[in-house]
């Protein structure tokens, strides 16, 4: 018997004769193992048919062994049937985790229960919804909202259970570019450009408009960008870009002889 999830398994058995067959049957795990996946609930006997009930605690394959305890040698007929009723899902999903939203954003992202429907509201007005992926990631398109607007976000599973609300306030977008990077001397033997920029910004090294290397500054702003060796006199331009995609002014550095 293949069982899709938690619920109740009923097993019914009967024979074509009551005088010569002592029919024994039960539901069990593979090779009679007991991991607690099945719990016997009891049985009822009516009009020559016994019905046994089992609580199923885990989806999987279960087995119904059948024995004639009298061991008769002649042919006889017995019948076994099963019925499974899944438990109703009454457990609400956890409330969604929502990433920061600013007053430039047209998409809200985050994580929720896999396959759930994530809805974004302002008050009671729905402004967007989308289905979370099989890994729980979601991306909901919304109209741009003013800074200070409070959004409430919920997740609803396939059984109609709705999570608690996640509240998030729209913040003002960061429009301030980082300070331009401080770059250490670069000579015609160097394979790395080092210096200091805004913490966690992405530092890019270019020759003209051609990028030759980039790296992320650490939490203290220190960076180390691998580049091909450049000839003496080559002019490099270096910028820093923050998480809001604001780009600093350019720092120019000329490659010197080692």
182-254 is a CATH 2.60.40.420 domain: no
**Tens digits of per-residue pLDDT, 172-190?**
998 899 999 999 999 999 9
Domain 97-169: what homologous superfamily?
Answer: Immunoglobulins (2.60.40.10)
Query: Which sequence spans correspond to the domains of the chain?
Result: 2-86, 97-169, 182-254
User: Strand order in 117-122's β-sheet?
Assistant: 125-131, 117-122, 150-156, 166-169
CA distance 196 to 117: 44
pTM here? 0.55
97-169 and 182-254 agree in CATH topology = yes
Q: Taking residues 22-31, what's their average pLDDT?
A: 90
Q: How far apart are the first and last CA of the chain?
A: 77
Q: Is the pLDDT of residue 5 over 90?
A: no
């Amino acid at each position: 018997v293949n069982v899709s999830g938690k619920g109740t398994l009923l097993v019914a058995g009967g024979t074509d004769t009551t005088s010569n067959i002592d029919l024994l049957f039960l539901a069990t795990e593979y090779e009679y193992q007991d991991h607690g996946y099945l719990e016997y609930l009891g049985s009822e006997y009516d009009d020559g048919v016994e019905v046994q009930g089992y609580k199923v605690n885990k989806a999987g394959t279960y087995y119904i062994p059948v024995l004639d305890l009298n061991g008769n040698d002649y042919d006889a007929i017995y019948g076994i049937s099963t019925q499974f009723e899944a438990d109703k899902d009454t457990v609400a999903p956890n409330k969604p985790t929502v990433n920061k939203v600013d007053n430039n954003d047209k998409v809200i992202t985050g994580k929720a229960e896999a396959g759930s429907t994530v809805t974004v509201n302002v008050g009671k007005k729905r402004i967007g919804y989308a289905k979370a992926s099989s890994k729980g990631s979601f991306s909901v398109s919304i109209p741009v909202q003013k800074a200070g607007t409070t959004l409430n976000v919920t997740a609803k599973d396939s059984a109609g259970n709705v999570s608690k609300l996640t509240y998030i306030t729209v913040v003002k977008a960061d429009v301030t570019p980082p300070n331009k990077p401080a770059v250490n001397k670069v000579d015609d033997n160097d394979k790395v450009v080092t210096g200091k920029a805004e913490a966690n910004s992405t530092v890019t090294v270019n020759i003209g408009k051609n990028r030759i290397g980039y790296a992320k500054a650490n939490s203290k702003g220190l960076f180390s960008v691998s580049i091909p060796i450049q000839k003496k006199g080559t002019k490099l331009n270096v910028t820093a870009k923050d998480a809001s995609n604001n780009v600093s002014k350019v720092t120019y550095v000329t490659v010197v002889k080692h």
